[in-house]
Amino acid sequence: MRKLSSILKAVCVLALASPLALAWAPPSWLPGVLAPSFEAALQASFRQLSVTLAATLAVTTLLTVALGYLSVLSMRFGRTGASILNSVESVPSILVALFCYAPVSGYLARHASGASQTVSLAVFILAAALTALPEAVRSVAIPLGDLYHRKYSLSFRSYGFTKRRILAVLMGSRGMRNTLKRVAAAVVLKTLVLDCSFGFIIQLGFGSYGTPAHASPGALIAAHRDALFDGGTPILFWLPSLLLVLISLSFLLTLGDRKEVAA
């Protein structure tokens, strides 16, 4: 019964996150009930979002595991790292993103090609990783430190294992794997919110789809905000919004998935 509910939950999460996969489907698969230009923009923005989420997730998870591990391994590194990440965390994430874009804004304005898109993506990943890292590293370092210092260090150090090896084993334990899964869900959720709100603000400010060559569902929503007024087509505003809500819900479901630990 429990297995069935787990399968149903997994199916539900996949179904909710499916707009990200559908964005990669050939245009002929789309129903074609909306204007072709809108459908193309919708698909492009969600395609861009899926790339941003996947790339940010990969970079941030890698950095989180490395920094979380090193923070517990070396107390000095942990304290210094925590101070830096805390100061980054004190700045609103949208400002961090704008700050990261500032040095390359000239380059982005001059290039509207693939190079601009790549640089834009790289800068956004950097900004998203910076804003997600403090909480992610803390979420890994605290339980890992607790497992080591309060539980496993005495016995395992007395057997002759090094701290490095004990931490590596604990990092791969079921409890830590579940923690990492929740951290990953939190990272993609945070990135999604940042990407859309950033795209929304840029669209309002500059009137184009996000920064040069950085299409975002948030920018698409901002571009079609007039659709809510008389004579407009509200679905142009609500469709991307609804899809974003569904995707967010799938991440929230993963976030709330706390595994039961045997007594």
Can you give the binding site for another protein, defined by CB under 8 A? Answer: 2, 73, 151-155, 157-164, 169-170, 172-175, 260-263
Half-sphere exposure of residue 97, counting CA atoms within 13 Å on the CB side? Answer: 26
**98-101: which pairs have CB atoms within 8 A and are 24 or more residues apart?**
98/198, 99/127, 100/124, 100/126, 100/127, 100/130, 101/127, 101/211
Nearest distance, CB of residue 79 and another protein, angstroms: 9
Residue 103: DSSP 8-state: G
Nearest distance, CB of residue 150 and another protein, angstroms: 9
Nearest distance, CB of residue 122 and another protein, angstroms: 36
Distance between CA atoms of 214 and 118, rounded to whole angstroms?
9
Nearer to another protein, 131 or 139 (CB): 139
| 63 burial level (CB within 10 Å; 0-12, 13-18, 19+) | middle
Nearer to another protein, 230 or 260 (CB): 260
Taking a C-beta distance cutoff of 8 angstroms, is the pair 102, 148 a contact?
no
Nearest distance, CB of residue 88 and another protein, angstroms: 22
Nearer to another protein, 153 or 241 (CB): 153
Enumerate residues 6+ apart whose C-beta is below 8 A from 174: 259
Nearer to another protein, 3 or 103 (CB): 3
Considering only CA atoms, give the Rg of the chain: 21
Q: What is the dihedral of CA 88, 94, 99, 100, to 10 degrees?
A: 90
Nearer to another protein, 47 or 181 (CB): 181
Nearest distance, CB of residue 65 and another protein, angstroms: 17
Nearest distance, CB of residue 186 and another protein, angstroms: 18
**Helices 75-89 and 36-73, packing angle to 10 deg:** 150
Look-up of token digits 């395609």? 47
Nearest distance, CB of residue 165 and another protein, angstroms: 8
Nearer to another protein, 171 or 192 (CB): 171
Handedness of CA 165, 168, 172, 176 (dihedral sign): positive
Nearer to another protein, 20 or 166 (CB): 166
